[in-house]
Amino acid sequence: MLRDGRLHLTGIAMLAPLLTRDNRDALLARATHRSKRQIQELVAELSPRPDAPFVMRKLPQKRDAPLPSQFTASAELHHKLERLSALMRSEIPDGRLLCSLHNRYLAERDYGQAAISRHRRLEQDAPA
């Protein structure tokens, strides 16, 4: 299958833990000519993992490092995020779309707060 191009090496590596003598023919047939993402979906269907746990914790005040994000998303949302990431590749070359958008939001929010504070100071200093 690898030699004739029906299945790629990454797909074989993803399927290997699931293959048994009983299911190998059917599973390999389902994976034939599929993309990496489609094989990931097939693996998730056959061996589902629990949703990412909901964790809430206090964040440090200084936010220099990007925040890790993990959540469970529908296939449709995942597809949209992948497409958006591809479209924004020139602006976000490392592909960390969510972290970059979150950091931009924080920067704009902080800039907005600074602008409000500056405006209030100017109002207080202005002669009546």
Answer yes or no: are the C-beta atoms of 31 and 7 closer than 8 Å: yes
Please work out, in degrees rounded to the nearest 5, the angle formed at the alpha carbon of residue 38 by the alpha carbons of 28 and 15: 40
**Domain-by-domain residue ranges, the chain?**
9-46, 52-128
Phi first, then psi: what are they for 59, rounded to 5°?
-90, 150
Which parts of the chain fold into alpha helices (H)? 9-15, 24-31, 36-46, 75-87, 97-125
Q: How far apart are CA 71 and CA 42, in angstroms?
A: 19
Q: pLDDT tens for residues 68-109?
A: 666 777 888 888 888 888 888 888 787 777 777 777 777 777
pTM for this prediction: 0.45
